[in-house]
Amino acid sequence: MRQSTKLNCAALISVLAIIIPIFTGCSHTEKILIPPKMDLRPYGIVGIIEFSTDAASEMKQYATQEYIHYVQAAQPGVKVLELGGQDRVLKKVGKGQLDPEAVRAIGAAYQLDVLIFGHLSVSEPKPNVRLSSTWESLRVGADIEASLMTKLWETDSGVTLWTNSSSRRKSVARLKADTGGNVRFGASDPKDSYGRLVRELVYANTTDFRSTYEYRKVK
């Protein structure tokens, strides 16, 4: 009887030794690299027109430079040619607006494969007024809404390859005013007021240029 029990146990162990690796080997989790949705590396030269904006004029170059930074950080080796402002570029190719015909002309003039342009829109600050408990001063926290819309064209055909938009709402520079009517702003430089907001907008807008990782079950 004991021998039979020992044989049964040995048989069970042998079966488990075969079955367990089968089940555990069927699938496992791996970290998989997901390529970017929009890969600029196959293209030769990427042209970028300085972004337009309805905010302070200093924000044009700032937003453009941040965009280049995030694109090249996501895809090292991408060649970017900075073309300057939209009016200057259109004047060079003798066009009045940035349409497919102008895109083809810009591509030919600057030897570009693709062209990027964007617009930064910033709302007027919406103040939140707070009066001190002593009624001697008031503090205003300014909230603004901003959005960034970008477009990528193929210069040979003038067709749109990719578009994206991002938006944010954020508290920015404060101002203070006392009962004597004296007003003081928290930041005089637009970059100090809107810099972080613009960086967040650009980072969100360039998501499709970045590789990501996912954990997937694979066999």
pLDDT, tens digit, for every residue of 16-69?
A: 566 655 555 566 788 888 999 999 999 999 999 999 998 878 889 999 999 999
The pLDDT of residue 95 is above 70: yes
Cα 30 to Cα 88: distance, rounded to the nearest angstrom: 50
Tokens of 191: 């970059």
Q: What is the pTM of this model?
A: 0.74
How sure is the predictor about 100, in pLDDT bands with cuts at 50, 70 and 90?
A: very high
- SS3 category, 158: coil
β 45-49/114-122 pair status: parallel
- In 3D space, the residue among 193, 145, 150 whose CA is nearest the CA of residue 64 turns out to be 150
Spatial separation of the C-alpha atoms in residues 167 and 146, rounded to whole Å: 6
Domains of the chain and any CATH numbers: 2-218 (3.30.160)
Selection from 141, 142, 139, 140 nearest residue 122 by Cα: 142
